[in-house]
Amino acid sequence: MTSSPDTLRAALQTALTAHSMLEIDGLHAFEFSLDEMLQIESMDGRERKVWRFSLAQIDAAAFDEALQSWVINDGNADHRIVVLNAFAASDEDEEDEQD
């Protein structure tokens, strides 16, 4: 992530539309949703972990420029979220691009 959106909420909305992944506290999230709250799910070995953050907590998150991640507090502890950029393959063949 070379440039950061102004808010974590904007970064999450972009990630949802781009089908990007998140990393939270060093774990890759296999699923996340953002509506009335942010819910992130991940597996740590065989243990399923779930984090939930309110919209107010999302809006209060701060971007750490040095570590290129967002710091968010759930009321008990700080958590670090990294929005991983998704890459999409082109639907066109190389031959089509040359024509």
For residue 41, the domain's CATH number is 2.30.29.190
Model confidence pLDDT, tens digit, residues 63-98: 999 999 999 999 999 999 999 875 555 555 555 555
Q: How far apart are CA 59 and CA 72, in angstroms?
A: 9
Residue 3 belongs to some domain of the structure? no
Assess whether pLDDT exceeds 80 at residue 25: yes
Assess whether pLDDT exceeds 90 at residue 41: yes
State the residue range of the domain holding 63: 8-85
Number of domains in the chain: 1
Residue 13 belongs to some domain of the structure? yes
Q: Which of 33, 34, 26 is nearest to 67 (CA)?
A: 26
Residue 6 has a pLDDT of: 87
Q: Which of 46, 47, 50 is nearest to 33 (CA)?
A: 50
Residue 95 belongs to some domain of the structure? no
User: pLDDT: is 26 or 5 the higher one?
Assistant: 26
Residue 47 belongs to some domain of the structure? yes
Residue 2 has a pLDDT of: 47
* Average pLDDT score, the chain: 86
